[in-house]
Chain A
Amino acid sequence: MSSGLASDEVAEDYKNSLEDLTTNDRFQISNLTVIAKENTEHAMAISRVLENHIRTTPPVQKLPALYVVDSIVKNVGTPYTLFLGRNMYQTFMNAYTLVDSQTRRKLDEMLKTWKEPVPGSLDTRPVFPPEITRSIESALIKARTAALQQQQARSQQEVLTRGRVGTPPGWASNSPTPQNPARYPPSTTSTPPMLYHRNGGPGHGFPSADPRSTPTPQLQQQPDVDLSALNRDIEVLITAARSDFANNPLDPSIQQRLKALLDLQGILQRQELTQEQLKLVRDQVSALAPKPAITVPPTLAPVIQAVSTPSMAIPPVQAMSQPLQQLLNPGTLAELIKTTAVRQQPTPPPQAQNILPQVPSSATPQPPVTSNPENPLIAALRARGLLPSASATPTTSATPPSNLASGFPFIVPGQVRYTPPVPTPQAIETSNVQVNVQMNTASIKIPRNVLIATLYESKSNRCGTCGRRFFVTDDGKGKKARHLDWHFRTNQRMAEAAKRAQNRSWYVDERDWIKSREVGDDEGLVETETSGEGTTGSDGGSAKKGPPKQWIRAPNDATLRNTPCPICQEKFESTWSEDVQDWIWQDAVKVGNRVYHASCYAEVTKDGPTPAHRVTPSGRTGTPDSILGKRKAEGADYPGQNVRVKTESG
């Protein structure tokens, strides 16, 4: 079935057909398979085309292309298996690193079929030779393990993974390279460029397979920072600082510098930093490497010069056109250290420190603007209209310093919380404002500010935690008090609950839902755990062992939960309590280590000493009461129980 065409023509045709394959279309894939089969004499060329296509096609189109490979090797077999097998590791792994998780699963499944013989075939050999599939598999396993370990290591901070790669231009060097720097930082020595394509980017080419295409932790969520290299660098800097210190023991700047470096080292060794932060540190450290002094461009706005010393690392003016964030990097390490080191006086490494010396001593009541290393920059940027979002509105351009400072509350002592002016209550008693709006298309277009006030101003009493509004009336105040109680209890319980595992509850069924009533967060608990006054009118307020509760929280422990009431041998039913925001057992009482139905317990204890003895568990011992009946003599030992019995029967 030779087509008689030259290999490169066939290849070109095949390439074009492949490019039309954008979705997982069985028909197209079959066609491509047929073409491949009819042109086995050009198998090598076609294989190359396929490999190239898979490498260069956008991630979303990689799967169909790989399915073509799959179809060809299964339907046609040799010589394609041979040609495609050669580079299969790179082809597969390259694609695998770039596609999303759904596709990965599909690839996993496909790989699985490659380890088996072609279904229905007499040939018992697997689709691809085992060494090929094995190498891919082991690479995948390695990557998974490494990724898992890494994920565990930083599980706390995984939401905050935002890669900022490379040294920011304009900070580390005098020649900024503003070519789309956010996406393609100029100096990315530590990261394979592939990363930028990972998330289904546009279909440009990928670097051809290199050994690093094996997914290793390097290819994680964001590029890793080589911790050991970083430590090494810091070590070098510390050594240098030490020798400086030895030469100049009285120079406070060297002292500070050394201390900052040592702190930084300590932080790194405690491994408290996220990858994100590590990158910042790395950038800063690399910036600390000896380099020609950075000159301040003479064109700088006066406002900057007014607040900064010439040594301040102001990026060159050209850099102003770059993303704001890169301009503001000088302060980030300072912030990092500030937040990490407990309340320690900020001691950033020298470069940043150069900025700090102008910080007026906190006693000087200067405008707080100057107390933040970033603020001069921001001010400068504002002045130049380079801070778009903030300066877009006229109000900000005239922002008083105090307002600016509120944006940086961490640096301004005493200005912890910025309390915004609550909209002035117009003293409208809107609780009885009659809302009367017709529901029609014309009517709803009329602005009604008076009515908006019913949502806002008329309830000027606000909860600071959730923003809920209350009337300033006594009723509103009462509600607010209960509401705040609710917050307090919830916060307490959340702190408690953080210690134990929690889980989603089952949804209620129709009947329960219809019967259920929403309980607001302003109604206070009907019964709390400490007041045992249940609706059943239980006694026991005076009992020393604590009054019996008519309900208890359903235990978390599975065995406990499945333990029936020792008296009636029936299991407890968990019900959701809106009050407690937890599952509870109604009509349950915990005595000692065991849980009884409160009614059963009351029933039994009421009937005089004998049954009471029989079931009264040992409240003071930790042993499970598996031998309830044998504890007769102990009845008298429990004054609490006796009191209880007395009050019950009397």
Chain B
Amino acid sequence: MSLPGLDLTQPSADNQFAPAPPTQISLSKGSEWRFEVAFGTVIRAKLLAGTAELFGTELAPSQTYTFSGTKGAIYTWHGCTLEVSAGDTGPAVDGLAPGGMNGAIACGLGAGGCQSEYTAEETPMVEYANVHFALETMRQEAKATGKDGPRVLILGPANAGKTSVAKILTAYATKVERQPIVINLDPNEGMLSVPGTLTATAFRTMIDVEEGWGSSPMSGPSAVPVKLPLVYFYPMQNALEAEGSIYRPIVSRLALSVMGRMAEDEEARETGIIVDTPGILSQGKPGSLETINHIVTEFSITTILVIGSERLYSLMMKNYDNKPTSSASAVASDERITVVKLSKSGGCVDRDAAFMKGVRESQIRTYFFGNPIPSTASAALSLSASSTTNVTLSPHAQQLDFNSLGIYNYTIASLDEDEDDYDPSQFGASDAFLPGGGNDAEIRPTQQQDETSRAMPLPGIVSSIEGATPGTAANVPLKKVSPPAPSTLANSLLAITNAPPTASAVDIRDASIMGFLYVADVDSEKGKIRALAPVGGRVPPRAIVWGKKWPGEVVGLVG
């Protein structure tokens, strides 16, 4: 499945830049080099001298790091010299002479390979590092007194640098041999998983410099130790969807698991947790304060970091500062919440919809296919193993019988906002606007279905589980998708839960996720779907939740 521009890598406007040789960038103490790399563009960075870190994770000297489709910043506490060059064929070019030729760039782009890159002198890194040290102070205390370590909540509007702060705090914590549990509550961007997931992961080893947070376990080894996430599926972009009635129970469930881990895992308990949130919670939307309160309560948050929103900061101060935490021992130990304001980094850039889409697609692709870009390890290994040592994964394609799968879908009216879209295959939907009369257009009866309150422009959404557990389940807008297989399944993700296919809607909603299927094709007539599974063998007989609206369609994952 490849057409011009439809390749695995999206072409970028920067494609037409002429190559240039490696560029050296010297950073003075306490400054950072900010760069943006488009999808489909690869740049390589190497630390020649000094020390440098990317969101807290230190770069190894003389190692080549590869970046693509990212916006990042390399900071230095001590000053450093970086060498930046365009991605080259690296180990793929035959006959790289052992030693010495490693840095040779056959077709370099130079720093010009970045969409934008510049050096910034002013950064809030001192603040961020001090937050780490303050947390470290609390951890030492926790260790001494047997209390729980700090539970940090990071709030701030979209693109304020929340995830970057989470990464920095995590990286510093692992650097001093702590083991924080990092929780991502932002369905826009996955952490160690695809978008649409809420995850918790204990970080003990280094965060991958090149690959976001790193990689979840694979059947083979990984140059950077893999991280083991606990994954829940929230197939909506907006955490406040349906007044948070779906988001909050999942958060509660996640919090329960995390507390369970904290209770048993001494190191995790001492280190505490770091919670990253979606920006929408900090943008004054109705229901967001309730959701914040929910998170603060469920995770017994001790420290609230507010980035880039004065208004939210004062609100949080008012609501939480110096209030007792919700932890069971709070009363005894007089544990109180602190609210701290952090400066937003000047390097925060708005990531437009197209870029975020690229991020989503690359996360989904990485889940199934691994990381196609040669990584550090491959650069390090290229002397011994000239083949590509970057991890390429081979998912298994298989035909599945639609009827044998218990596929559920969230049906929330407000989700179907694109119903006003013109859709050629839904011809006739717009007939109401046309003058009646002597042409060949007629209203298709099936269109009426669209107008129902739980509008699903699909045939065959029947509420089959509502009766199972009346009361609670009735509130969960999770409906089994009944045959025929809707064609809109194609190119979307299906999350395999750990719940049995006949479980109640509540159980399915709250179940953690085993993994994802990607639907390549749907044959509605035969009731077959062709799907990509990460692992070979039979698809486990579990309830499956359809990510219809989110993470949405990814076209061209398989041919």
Contact = CB atoms under 8 A, between A and B. Distances in A.
A204 B161 CA distance: 36
B498 A510 contact: yes
A231 B212 CA distance: 43
A384 B19 CA distance: 21
A392 B119 contact: yes
Contacts of B332: none
Interface in A481-526: 489-491, 493-495, 497-498, 500-510, 513-521
A26 B78 CA distance: 58
Contacts of A163: 15-16
Contacts of B404: none
Contact of A396 (B26, B107, B491, B536): B26
A437 B130 contact: yes
Contacts of B12: 199
B340 to A, nearest CB: 5
Given A147-B2, A182-B17, A335-B105, A119 B216 contact: no
Contacts of A417: 62
Contacts of A506: 496, 514-515, 534-535, 540
A109 interface: yes
A123 B440 contact: yes
A161 B228 contact: no
Contacts of A393: 25-28, 119
Interface stretch (A42-50, A451-459, A589-597, A616-624): A451-459
B17 A396 contact: no
B389 A495 contact: yes
Given A75-B441, A505-B535, A507-B514, A437 B63 contact: no
Nearest to B104: A410
A269 interface: no
A219 B102 contact: no
Contacts of A160: 42, 87-89, 107
B78 A439 contact: no
A494 B422 contact: no
Contacts of B9: 158-159, 161, 221
A493 B220 contact: yes
A21 to B, nearest CB: 10
Contact of B553 (A102, A387, A451, A508): A102
- Label chain B's interface by main secondary structure: loop
B231, B340, B440: which has the most chain A beta carbons within 10 Å?
A: B440
Interface residues of B, number: 180
A101 B441 contact: no
A452 to B, nearest CB: 5
Contacts of B102: 409-410, 416
A466 B60 contact: yes
Interface string A49-74: 00000000000000010010011001
B442 A121 contact: yes
Interface in B330-371: 338, 340-342, 354, 367-368, 370
A502 B393 contact: yes
A2 to B, nearest CB: 14
Interface in B537-559: 537, 540, 553, 555-556, 559
Interface residues of A, number: 180
Contact of B60 (A448, A462, A493, A497): A462
B293 interface: no
Contacts of B220: 493-494, 497, 500, 502, 581-582
B242 interface: no
A514 B443 contact: no
A500 B490 CA distance: 29
A441 B341 contact: yes
B50 interface: yes
Given A437-B137, A439-B134, A105 B555 contact: yes
A507 B420 contact: no
Given A34-B434, A143-B4, A466-B224, A407 B22 contact: yes
Contacts of B555: 101-102, 104-105
Contacts of B205: 518, 520-521
Contact of A272 (B93, B101, B131, B434): B93
B513 A198 contact: no
B296 interface: no
A280 to B, nearest CB: 6
Interface in B504-538: 512-515, 534-537
B422 A75 contact: no
A420 B86 CA distance: 22
A414 to B, nearest CB: 8
Interface stretch (B257-265, B464-472, B477-485): B257-265
A498 B385 contact: yes
B3 A143 contact: yes
Interface string B168-193: 00001001100100000000000001
Given A118-B441, A160-B107, A343-B97, A464 B385 contact: no
Contact of A513 (B42, B87, B206, B261): B261
Interface in B1-52: 1-28, 40-42, 47-51
A489 B95 CA distance: 25
A509 B512 contact: yes
Query: Which 8 A-B residue pairings sit nearest by Cβ, starting from the closest?
Result: A467-B60, A325-B20, A342-B95, A420-B49, A518-B204, A30-B433, A120-B442, A497-B220
Given A343-B101, A420-B62, 19 more contacts: A29-B430, A31-B433, A64-B422, A71-B424, A74-B427, A76-B439, A120-B443, A220-B4, A221-B9, A338-B104, A389-B25, A392-B119, A439-B134, A445-B126, A500-B220, A505-B217, A506-B535, A510-B498, A582-B221
24 contacts: A75-B431, A104-B555, A121-B441, A151-B2, A323-B17, A324-B20, A338-B104, A389-B24, A390-B23, A390-B24, A408-B21, A410-B102, A417-B62, A436-B137, A438-B137, A446-B126, A465-B380, A490-B222, A504-B395, A504-B515, A507-B230, A510-B260, A518-B267, A576-B217
